[in-house]
Amino acid sequence: MTREATLIPGDGIGPEITEATLQVLGAMGAAFDWDEQFGGMSAVEKAGTPLPNATLDSIRRTGLALKGPLTTPVGGGYRSVTVALRQEFDLYANVRPVKTIVPGGRYEKVDLVIIRENTEGLYVGLDHTFKVGNDPKAVAQAMSVMTRDGCTRICRYAFDYAKTHGRKRVTVVHKANILKATSGLFLETAKIIAKEYEGVIASDDKIVDNAAMQLVINPTQFDVIVTTNLFGDILSDEASGLVGGLGLAPGANIGTKAAIFEAVHGSAPDIAGKGIANPSAQMLAAAMMLDHVGDLGSGTRLRRALETAIVKDGVRTKDLGGNATTAEFARAVARRV
Ligand code: NAI
Ligand code: MG
């Protein structure tokens, strides 16, 4: 049975890693009926806007998307399309698993999941500069907005995820000592939800700076981490570095009406077009998408094939110390599925 899904190849390395992923899905016979759409820089070039209505309409219809990274101008320019999509479809839970695949790296046996609140906090877009005298940017101000409902649903999602995925502990990461209102509300809410799961899922909390250090010193102490938007963004890149880098880190953006799957990394302009990007993160995102639609067998099969290609066959892209191209790696995974 095929299921319709939106495909956004994205910018930079996006089209390369997307093509590699489609090749593997094709080899598996995993059936998505793709509706290809554009977003980000490539959409500006093709449609004159970074987020065309056709892309929104497609996701509204399918409720399911595989998305490549989208370039966001730094400083000025248009707002992040990735963030806009998360807000438009209220994809409140960003689920980012971090697992050791390549042996002999910095850490063996890392297996943690970061669950990041994906719609609130400092990403709500209330970010302004103010003119004083002749200086148009004399003062800059950003506002973080947290709601009790927003905190409740992400914390409940994290504890529920822990329960349904056989996890043991949820660590709440916050900065409630300084951000007493916003991070304070998050921690207060998390503690209420933790009580509901008492005896089923253990829980503790850590201040974000300590959590960042603990991740580097002893990552295997973590199981599920639930945190706010900015901290989750930073900690998930950090955590990917514990297991070989961004090339191996997938993510899911989950809401009640739609879900978008993507790599944690960005469009990697420094290596775009060279055919050397690691498509693993995007492939693992596709595996999460298969899990999401209930095709657990295929998700597991894809993950196993990818691990076998990397570990047994020793086919690795440059970021993992190998010399395989994106296409060679895709062929190796496709052979193993
Ligand atoms: P990045 O994640 O694109 O790259 C960081 C570093 O990791 C670079 O050295 C890159 O070459 C390397 N890298 C990333 N993915 C890789 C892969 N699959 N294989 C091998 N190496 C890989 O972050 P950066 O440079 O800060 O951002 C570039 C652009 O991407 C920006 O416009 C940013 O806004 C956007 N971005 C988009 C995201 C999304 O669409 N979800 C997420 C993060 C950034
Ligand atoms: Mg990020």
**How confident is the model over 101-143, as pLDDT tens digits?**
988 888 999 999 999 999 999 999 899 999 999 999 999 999 9
Specify whether the CB–CB gap between 58 and 251 falls below 8 A: no
Residue 1: pLDDT band (50, 70, 90) is low
Identify the structural domains of the chain with CATH numbers, from first to last: 1-92+246-337 (3.40.718.10), 111-242 (3.40.718.10)
For ligand 1, what atom is nearest to the CA of residue 68?
Answer: 40
Nearest CA owner, ligand 1 atom 39: 69
Tell which wins on pLDDT, 95 or 108.
95
Helix (H) / strand (E) containing 97: strand 93-99
As a whole number of angstroms, the distance between CA 238 and CA 215 comes to 8
Closest CA to 113 of 98, 128, 100, 102: 98
Q: How far is the CA of 71 from the centre of ligand 1 (A)?
A: 9
Q: How far is the CA of 198 from the centre of ligand 1 (A)?
A: 39
Q: What percent of the chain has pLDDT over 90?
A: 93
281 CB near ligand 1 (under 6 Å): yes
**How confident is the model over 189-206, as pLDDT tens digits?**
999 999 999 999 999 999
**How confident is the model over 202-261, as pLDDT tens digits?**
999 999 999 999 999 999 999 999 999 999 999 999 999 999 999 999 999 999 999 999
Helix (H/G/I), strand (E/B), else coil: 191: helix
Specify whether the CB–CB gap between 190 and 172 falls below 8 A: yes
Helix (H/G/I), strand (E/B), else coil: 73: coil
70 CB near ligand 1 (under 6 Å): yes
The two tokens of residue 311 are 């570990």
Specify whether the CB–CB gap between 279 and 21 falls below 8 A: yes
47 in the Ramachandran plot: left (φ > 0), alpha (ψ -120 to 50) or beta? alpha
Residue 326: pLDDT band (50, 70, 90) is very high
Q: How far is the CA of 164 from the centre of ligand 1 (A)?
A: 31
Buried b / exposed e over 272-283, threshold 16 CB at 10 Å, is beeebbbbbbbb
